[in-house]
Amino acid sequence: METEAFKFKLNSKTFVVIDWANVYGWFSAPNSKTCLGWEVDPKKLFTYLKSYPNIADINFYFGVESDKTKSVAFKKEIESIGYTHKSKGVKWVPAILETTAHFKVLVRRLFDVLDNVKNTNSAVSNRLYDLVKKLGEVLESGYGISATGEPTYTFFDDEQVRVIYELVEELDGNLRKLNLDITELQISLRGPVQRRKCDFDVEISRDVYNNLSTFETLIIFSGDGDYATLAEDLISKNKKVIVIFANGHMGKEYIKLQEKLTERKVNYMLFLCSANNLKNFIAK
């Protein structure tokens, strides 16, 4: 189906949930292999969803950083657009990467790599020191070694000697500085870091259940697999679920759920829709 002709088939009252942190993650990292490649415009998204008569409520969930002007301004923008917005303050939770189970193995491997780099740098630095000594001896003796292994008398002027020494010392200095940078990085990894936390799983699930009697179809803008359980439960209550996701941003839980529903011959109750289908309507 061509994007221009794409249209949801909504034959009953529909409740919309937009988990903005998840949606923002689709395009906020342009260097990521899973980047959407275009931005979702909240205003265009609202206008598009409002074009469907059966959409009763459009709920927008996002975390606000009260000390950041851009975040506060975005909250006001969402309010002015007309969304039923649900926001709360972002929390920054301290976590020590070296001891946190989720990162422990990864950090340990990183430390091993960094230690190997430091050891290699030290070995190269020592070899450079030996090279400088031998170079000095060669220069003092006034000869070098030809390609055939025979001694050949070569005379260096002071400028050539200075350039050779400076190049070797520069390389040695760079290696030592790199070791210092690696040491500082290892110290930082051992200390606590601040992890952004502002999940809306509970709020979204609560609002969905509080409005069960008002809709027959749920549209959720989030590929987070944590919502697959919610989707399965809604389907068991004879509700249809439409999941909007970006490629590379959909949890495998939805694939498993789709397989399960296919076995039960009710797979038509779950529709997985790529955000690219809506690009012409909601792209900034």
Nearest to 145 by CA among 135, 153, 137: 153
More confident residue, 98 or 168: 168
> What value does the mean pLDDT take over residues 117-124?
68
More confident residue, 262 or 87: 262
pLDDT at 90 over 80: no
The two beta strands, 143-145 and 151-153, are: antiparallel
> What value does the mean pLDDT take over residues 243-259?
94
Most confident of 111-125, 144-158, 261-275: 261-275
pLDDT at 161: 60
pLDDT at 30: 86
Lowest mean pLDDT among 147-151, 208-212, 240-244: 147-151
Specify whether the CB–CB gap between 111 and 189 falls below 8 A: yes
Write the CB contacts of 240 (distance below 8 Å, at least 6 apart in sequence). 12, 216, 217, 218, 269, 270, 271
pLDDT at 101 over 90: no
Nearest-angstrom CA–CA distance, 155 and 143? 7
φ, ψ of residue 233 in degrees (nearest 5):
-65, -40
pLDDT at 3: 45
pLDDT at 213: 95
> What value does the mean pLDDT take over residues 121-136?
67
pLDDT at 1: 38
pLDDT at 201: 85
pLDDT cut 90: percent of the chain above it: 46
**How confident is residue 165, by pLDDT bands cut at 50, 70 and 90?**
low
pLDDT at 80 over 50: yes
**How confident is residue 136, by pLDDT bands cut at 50, 70 and 90?**
low
Tell me the average pLDDT of the chain: 80
**How confident is residue 40, by pLDDT bands cut at 50, 70 and 90?**
very high
Tell how far CA 177 is from the center of its chain.
30
Nearest to 208 by CA among 229, 237, 230: 230
Nearest-angstrom CA–CA distance, 207 and 83? 14
**How confident is residue 60, by pLDDT bands cut at 50, 70 and 90?**
very high
Lowest mean pLDDT among 119-133, 202-216, 218-232: 119-133
pLDDT at 236: 95
**How confident is residue 64, by pLDDT bands cut at 50, 70 and 90?**
confident
> What value does the mean pLDDT take over residues 37-66?
93
